[in-house]
Amino acid sequence: MKVSFKEIAKSLTGISTPFGGVSWKPPETERGVVRKLLVFLEDRRALYNPYDIEMPVYVDRSIIEIRHKLTEILESLDEKSEASQHIHAMRAACRKFLNQTSGTQTRNRYFGMHRDEFFFAALGELRAIFGIHIAQLCVKYGIDIEEELVSILPTPDEG
């Protein structure tokens, strides 16, 4: 099978010679990209910390960082990759969470205890969605994750 020069050109980054330079960087595998994402998510405490120690302002910031990382990952994947559908769903969950909890109307309407209850319900929904997609990515790509992140994965049916 022939590889087009355009595909080869995407990988060129620079080899030095006395007459000029070109280098080649092999493309990263889809599994490698997914693994980097999961390593990143392992360090996002907003996904697994106990609710009673979470502070909404820091959770919001973390979810924004996660959304940016998911966008960055999507830019590096082929749009038809298996991983992209899961990453799109997680990014949509981030947007939904931020829309529900970060808007001025939400802050005014859910001020105090009522706001906190709404905030943590939205966080629980986000964690559940992430858990489903993280579990599927781990299985599809054979990637192990840290115990804290495992806490949001769906529990097996014991019955």
Domain residue extents for the chain: 28-150
Residue 117 phi, psi (nearest 5): -60, -45
Confidence (pTM) = 0.76
Mind listing the pLDDT tens digit of every residue in the chain (159 residues)?
A: 433 344 444 444 544 555 555 554 445 689 999 999 999 999 999 999 999 898 898 999 999 999 999 999 999 998 889 999 999 999 999 999 999 987 544 444 545 445 678 899 999 999 999 999 999 999 999 999 999 999 999 987 776
Q: 130: burial class by Cβ within 10 Å (0-12, 13-18, 19+)?
A: buried
